[in-house]
Structure 1
């Protein structure tokens, strides 16, 4: 199949480049980006006039299953979150609840222009829960990295989960340790990742600098401080720790709203970028934060510019890259997040004619500082249009929301 996005303003991200250009998609990949491209025989033409055409956003850290408990803890601290969500609500989740939440959360992403999500799925009470989460990602049609997180991982169940992925859904290990479980349990998680050749996405450095350094020391002692590791949050990391991550080939994911709201500390966006670490953005949890990339971009920009050591160098261009190509690197995905010919055709078309957006003198600045989800006109994943003219394609939203509401009512009853 061929798709020609004609007459828009193309914004590439690697490097950032803004120009009037058409974008041609063939067989799920970007084939060409240039002005005045001819229409291939049989191609669908989308009028992108007056719109920005750019790579779809990448949410580099999200607990997607939590869509049904949105805003259940708007002012919660980390301790309160652990008690409410993991201690009280999560044990009530059945596989059907996991499916309902993950499907709704993934569709929420697509609706907001997020074409790739790292789904850190710590709701896998049984293999049926795991299957429900993966099946929901497939059903949504989003590109996803499924973060496999179980309290007692073993090779057989992990292989079964891995076999269920494929196509747009890949798998990474999402270990609890070493920050939230003991070293022996953490070693089992990380060794399983190595045995199955999985990338790792892990909450580390959430506390003070001492705890952050202790986690990195643990990894280094066991030969686990290596590439294909994404460090989520890292608010306690000093410059030396960030240097160790950079030298190891690791990446960082920042969740600016949740980190600030739960009291993790100042987001490290500016310092991580200054250290040369590919840094992505994530919503983390909609229990106490927004689920759209525009909110994350503005928060990361405002909080990052306050950083007294590195913030003045943080730009809107840096943040756009964090939401796209650097987010893809944090997710461990190649060929995602840019308009380079040959890359996956995951794209978003953003309107610039809305009140509060027009006139968009600086398109990158308009995306980071002015837009919200109302600007998302068209979304493409792997060359397939999944949102057109502001509406998701082939989605019975009423049924999805009704299923989510039933699940939410049950799991939150008398919480």
Structure 2
């Protein structure tokens, strides 16, 4: 179903979170007409024509859909295994296990991952899709994304493909001819899902010769890709980062521009942030994995660095930042949760700076407000994907990507009536989200995901044209069991040693914890 013939809907008598010209959120009691996949009218009273569905939003909060700017959607079958792990351990027990996935496993892992984040209120996701084991894996990953109903930039990623474990061995050439040939073929085929899913590009092989890298990005530019993403951290677990910093490396390659989303950015100094701002690039912060896996403070809140960070140089990049999930194999796929964790952690660092001096401030700065966190999850995410004139806010002419919260739920009641933004950021859970609409089509209704129509590109492999959540979950359980049986045969300690060697990790940097 395309947005041009999507059903017309009126969200009647809700509290809509509407941004003013200064990006302040103004809760407004109103109704919203959705027509042809877009917001057609916002008014207190809307005359309803025949055939238009009316959804009563009395005692509901209508919010712009959330934007997730860094996610690895395929990892559903790996959930739970990283609960007490650091980054290098994850690289062995998570990232490397993509080679155990069949193309069909990728379809279900990706579909379930996108449905989880959709159910949690995310309507747009930038997927760093590092699961290109084969052309079929990539194609079924895209088909799963399109099937879910979410809006996505599917960033195709060349990867280090595992050949086998015991010992952990990679294929010698990560850039075999088929890798970029498949990318070019996909670029000609997209977009998918009636235009919701577009092709992006992800890349982390900055160790390759400069002429070769430039040739790859000439091909990416020729394909018309509007978003490319890369991991960027400056921490001991990743060998201290690229010499001179990745922003400088991208600048030298003439690649740092408004298309770029740098994931994490922990340890950035002012010189790095200055380059990002000048280029119009963006950073995606993923608090849960960054805090757990020893990456340091999230750069998404400037005031977190009032003390200059742990090394006396680190800074934030709040005006060019947004939130991502990263690995939903490690934590829940809720952007609201990431906003909450990131905000409270930043407040803690800000307050501790003064407490160490035996002092205290009168109040928190505006940059550490719940509204600031909400904007990072909506309008700033839209800016990162260069769709700020289409998504991220409730405005006539914008795409109808909306979520509806129950303001009378046990978690939100009281807070929702006092401050709807605070109610979302500090009190809500995905269970409070009753309706999710993407491109004018309801994808979650009455708190439950609707039936999924399988994209044409996956029907032969899946053997179904429609899927209910229960059936998807059952496939995940079956698939996970097979992957787990294979993974149990791996020598993870040997794999960890190999990974450390690949990343040139200095073992002397490791200490025993307390």
TM over 0.5: yes
Alignment correspondent of 1:370: 427
Cα deviation code 1:49-108 (max 9, x no counterpart): 100001111111110000111111112111111111223x21111101100100111111
Q: Does 1:131 align with 2:139?
A: yes
Deviates more, 1:29-38 or 1:366-375: 29-38
Deviates more, 1:242-251 or 1:300-309: 300-309
Cα deviation code 1:136-184 (max 9, x no counterpart): 0111111111011013275431122221433110111111133x76656
In 2: Cα distance, 1:411 partner to 1:331 partner:
34
Alignment correspondent of 2:473: 401
In 2: Cα distance, 1:37 partner to 1:171 partner:
37
Q: For 1:241, which of 272, 276, 284 is the aligned residue? A: 272
Q: Tell me, what secondary structure is at the counterpart of 1:355? A: coil
Alignment correspondent of 1:6: 12
In 2: Cα distance, 1:212 partner to 1:97 partner:
37
Alignment of 1:317-336 (within 5 A): 317-334=371-388, 335-336=390-391
User: What TM-score do you get using the length of structure 1 for normalisation?
Assistant: 0.93
User: What TM-score do you get using the length of structure 2 for normalisation?
Assistant: 0.76
Q: For 1:30, which of 17, 20, 39 is the aligned residue? A: 39
Q: Does 1:165 align with 2:191?
A: yes
Q: For 1:18, which of 13, 27, 30 is the aligned residue? A: 27
Alignment correspondent of 1:337: 392
CA contact (8 A) 1:57 1:324 kept: yes
Unaligned runs of 5+ in 1: none
Cα deviation code 1:189-238 (max 9, x no counterpart): 43332232212111113437864743122211121121111111000201
CA contact (8 A) 1:59 1:114 kept: yes
In 2: Cα distance, 1:56 partner to 1:22 partner:
17
RMSD: 2.2
In 1: Cα distance, 2:484 partner to 2:57 partner:
43
Q: Tell me, what secondary structure is at the counterpart of 2:330? A: coil
Q: Does 1:177 align with 2:205?
A: yes
Alignment correspondent of 1:141: 149
Alignment correspondent of 1:391: 448
In 2: Cα distance, 1:407 partner to 1:413 partner:
10
Q: Tell me, what secondary structure is at the counterpart of 1:399? A: helix
Alignment of 1:2-401 (within 5 A): 2-13=8-19, 15=23, 16-87=25-96, 89-151=97-159, 152=175, 155-162=180-187, 163-166=189-192, 167-178=195-206, 183=210, 186-198=213-225, 199-207=227-235, 211=242, 213-271=244-302, 275=317, 277-308=319-350, 312=365, 313-334=367-388, 335-360=390-415, 361-395=418-452, 396-401=468-473
Cα deviation code 1:98-130 (max 9, x no counterpart): 001001111112211111111111011110001
CA contact (8 A) 2:299 2:316 kept: no
Deviates more, 1:330-339 or 1:65-74: 330-339
| Count, aligned residues | 413
